[in-house]
Structure 1
Amino acid sequence: MTPDDIRQARARAPRTRPRDFAEGLGIAEAALVAAFAGPQVVRIAAAPDRLLPLAAGLGEALALTRNGSAVEERHGRFEGYDPKAARLYGPEIELHLAPAHWVHGFAVTEPTAKATKRSLQIFDAAGDAVHKIHLTEESDVAAFGRLVESLRLADQSDHLPLAPRAPEPAVVPRLKLRRLSPEAVTHLLEQSAARGIGLRIAVGNPGCTQIYSGPVLSILPAGYWINVMDPRFNLHLRTDHLAQVWLTGQSAAPTLQALDGSGRLILQIDARPASLALWQEMVGTLDCAQGMPSQK
């Protein structure tokens, strides 16, 4: 499919979410973005060693990392990047990176009826999303402009060469403690909100894992989705994709791991040190067979 074909198809379905539109069209999401290369879509260097130090200048922004079953969104500043460790340890945003997967980068400016949306979007060699940075009302728009000019590539073609998608290896949970039912994930989120338990929630893909550290407050189901809808943190999880749910690790500090039908990790949840005792107590009430509260 040519870039012109993509643009014509998009014109017929302008409101469909980009990821859903690309999937329905049978193309990579990055190919959709690249098809609109021009004044509002600029191809930029994607390497995190170049991008993230400049992203710190944006001030307040929204970090978004997803896989096929979960999306994690966090407001904060892109501070504390350590290039040697390939990790970002900010007060609110924590990212663990695999820089080899940061291949294609775009700066996108999208005028809408209400406001102009600006974002930085990173994709891997196959064109799958690795990480996105969305500007907010508090972000520094001038810094965004400087970043774009600093990272602008000479090649601004609307055609994006993509590699075949590499199979993502299945995860084998280590030190299995108990297998839980899929419903246990929603139960643990709801109970953590009710009891004020500080969590660490990790959602990732081969190129980036984003970790939220803190309490969850508002847990809202919507069909097969379970959502955390807090002022500075959102989590969207497809519960119908939960094929295996395990408690793993040491019994003193158990971790919940959720896998999809192909054995790929969807998300991981454990407790912050200050909430470990409450977390241990809560997971201890789960029945081994069903993964729901024990009636004992």
Structure 2
Amino acid sequence: MKSTLSPERTELKERWSEFKVINPKTRIRDAAKELNTTEAELVATGIGEYVTLLAGDFRELMKEIGSLGHVMALTRNDHVVHERKGVYEKISFNNHVGLVLGEDIDLRLFLGDWKFGFAVSENDRHSLQFFNSFGDATHKIYLTEKSNKEAYETLVAKYSAPDQGMSLLIAEKTPKPAESDTVTEIDRAAFQAEWLALKDTHDFFTLLRKYNLTRKQALRNAPEGYAYRITPESMKTVFEAASEEQLPIMVFVSNPNCIQIHTGPINKIFVMGPWLNIMDPEFNLHLRQDAIDEAWVVRKPTEDGVVTGIELIDKEGTMFNQFFGKRKPGIPELPEWPALIEKSVSRL
């Protein structure tokens, strides 16, 4: 099995090693930006030592993840990290769109741009890590002390790439155009009427496309009482109230290639630097409060009644984190959830 590192990868490996000595606590995602490279390329510097390049159809690999037993699923974007322990169950695919619908691990997978995969075994920690064509992490799976290590080794052997020295062809990102908060032309009455006629929360995306609105523009033009801004600091009080009341909530974290959802109560809440954290045995969330440009309470009608959510939006206009009360299709939202929001948040 070929695993010779290219001169470019060898040079990056040396820079990465030096960086880790000087900055031992810097996360690899942040280190990649400082080194003017990508996280996928940094991981690839370990090929031949503690990293194995994976190949094949990642859909087939994901269908076998349940064999690993109890693991930790990790999905993140630039501002929030979502870690959930459990077993991958009820795994299905429709073309490149996948679902994992277990009691604990709940995912929406968009594998059309899952470009690179690696098995990483370092410091007795074993994981499967996937990246898109831009070298950004899409989803990671870490073994726990309860995992099936033999099943992991079997998967790695089965999906190991024949050429471990192949170059990673990383696509270049095009800068996202600046967003305008104001809308020049819109039939506001028609937009609000369609908002009020929504039957499903998922139909909101269709509504934005129809009126060519960004998220911020849509929220600014919401029907009266259906969207209002709150202070970013409100998230801590919402977490603490949910913990105190043991009210089960839903926490959505997304990137372009994966959505990960936690459903259940939360308990241990604390702040460390810019990070607001939930640190429970089976669920961790790390949220950068300083990345919240706007926080909104948003109400959307459905066939089961109004659904109330909190949406966090960054400076580029991207919604990167969502929160709801626990609910399922066909069941109205818990009335305690909007009541908790009303008493916990500070409006702007």
1:244-269 Cα deviation digits (max 9, x unpaired): 11111337321100001111112000
SS at match of 1:164: coil
Q: Which amino acid aligns with 1:208?
A: C
CA 254–30 in structure 1, closer or farther in 2 if over 3 Å, else same: same
Q: CA deviation at 1:93?
A: 0.5
Distance in 1 (CA, whole Å) between partners of 2:313 and 2:230 is 11
Aligned 8 A contact 1:47 1:103 in 2: no
Match of 1:284 in 2: 342
Match of 1:194 in 2: 244
SS at match of 2:307: coil
2:144 aligned with 1:136, yes or no? yes
Match of 1:267 in 2: 321
Unaligned runs of 5+ in 1: 291-296
CA 189–167 in structure 1, closer or farther in 2 if over 3 Å, else same: farther
Moved over 4 A (4+): 166-171, 173-176
CA 288–25 in structure 1, closer or farther in 2 if over 3 Å, else same: closer
Asked which structure has the greater CA Rg, the reply is 2
Q: CA deviation at 1:289?
A: 3.5
Q: CA deviation at 1:45?
A: 2.8
2:296 aligned with 1:246, yes or no? yes
Query: RMSD of the TM alignment (CA)?
Result: 2.1
SS at match of 1:246: strand
Unaligned runs of 5+ in 2: 1-6, 180-213
Percent identity, please.
32
SS at match of 1:56: helix
What does 1:1-296 align with in structure 2 at a 5 Å threshold? 2-14=8-20, 15=24, 16-45=26-55, 47-84=57-94, 86-110=98-122, 112=123, 116-157=124-165, 159-166=167-174, 172=215, 174=218, 175=222, 176-250=226-300, 252-273=306-327, 276-285=334-343, 289-290=347-348
CA 249–288 in structure 1, closer or farther in 2 if over 3 Å, else same: same
Match of 1:294 in 2: none
Distance in 1 (CA, whole Å) between partners of 2:325 and 2:268 is 18
Q: How high is the TM-score relative to the length of structure 2?
A: 0.77
Q: CA deviation at 1:46?
A: 6.7
Q: Which amino acid aligns with 1:245?
A: A
Q: CA deviation at 1:13?
A: 3.0
1:15-67 Cα deviation digits (max 9, x unpaired): 34322221210100001111221152111137442121121110010000000
Aligned 8 A contact 2:72 2:144 in 1: yes
Q: Which amino acid aligns with 1:186?
A: K
Q: CA deviation at 1:135?
A: 0.7
Distance in 1 (CA, whole Å) between partners of 2:341 and 2:317 is 23
Q: Which amino acid aligns with 1:99?
A: L
**Count, aligned residues:** 286
